[in-house]
Amino acid sequence: MALPKLNESIRYELEIPSSKKKITFRPYFVKEEKILLQAFESKDEKLSMRAMIDTIVACVYDTLNPKMLTTYDVEYLFTQIRARSVGETSNFNAKCQQEGCEASTEVVVDLTSVEIVQDNPKSPTIELNEEISIELRYPTYLAFINNYKEGMSGSEFGMIMVKDCIVSINTPDERITEWSSEEITGFIDSMTTQQFEKVTEFIDSTPSLQKKIEWTCSACNRENKLTLEGLSDFF
């Protein structure tokens, strides 16, 4: 007689932040947790990032195109899947902000209540001059993985990500959406500093995973406030 399968009926629902598409998902199982632990223990950042997106794809019941997921989509989806898999809270050692106080207090963070926040939204359409504009998108998670190299300078990595974020180049006569790597590099190199700053300002405005926490220092009783941001702050 065949053995029964566990937890097949467990389903949760959430919304992908960038597209607002509702999806259903399950917790990750032991088989996915093994892969995640191996990736995290390897200290290989790219391997860990790939393991997270593979886990998301495995746990989501709906059709999901990982190429379309932004960096903040993956942060949010993974946090919610992990919350339903391991536990809905995470313990965070918060250091007191009082000058001279070195005490840390354990703060329990509800992972199901984290939000995607955009502090300073920018228009995705950038007017470069009277005739040429570009349409941008937020960085995709797979582009981040594929282009990231350990030891790469921030400016070099930023230049590569700018290429990925350009959706179209628009003129009065046409909307251009296809180009070679050499062509887009030449186009970006021809920008003035002010034009390039407009592009990087949009990318810098990418929404992020955030949670505001408050706690009383266990040593000096000071009331503290802090905003956790990004996966590294939560886990």
Percent of the chain with pLDDT over 70: 95
Average confidence (pLDDT) over 144-153? 78
User: Does residue 8 carry a pLDDT above 70?
Assistant: no
- Quick one: 53 and 107 in the same domain? no
Tell me how many degrees the CA angle 216-225-219 measures, rounded to the nearest 5: 25
Q: Write out the residue range of the structural domain in which residue 113 sits.
A: 91-118+209-235
- CA nearest to 48, candidates 78, 9, 93: 78
Q: Is residue 3 part of a domain?
A: no
* Domain identity same for 107 and 160: no
Question: Is 4 a member of any domain?
Answer: no
- The answer as to whether 2 is a domain residue is no
Identify residue 159 by its one-letter amino acid code.
Answer: M
Residue written as token pair 């329990």: 108
Supply the pTM of this predicted model: 0.87
Average the pLDDT over 142-168 and give the result. Answer: 83
Q: Is the pLDDT of residue 182 over 80?
A: yes
194 band by pLDDT with thresholds 50, 70 and 90: very high
Query: What does the pLDDT look like over 93-113, one tens digit per residue?
Result: 899 999 999 899 999 999 999
In this structure, the dihedral spanned by the alpha carbons of residues 164, 170, 176 and 182, taken in order and rounded to 10 degrees, is -50
Does residue 102 sit in the same domain as residue 143?
no
Please give the structure tokens belonging to residue 229.
């941001």
- CB-based contact 163:188 (threshold 8 Å): yes
**Gap between the Cα atoms of 138 and 72, Å rounded:** 9
What value does the mean pLDDT of the chain take?
Answer: 90
What mean pLDDT comes out for the span 11-35? 93
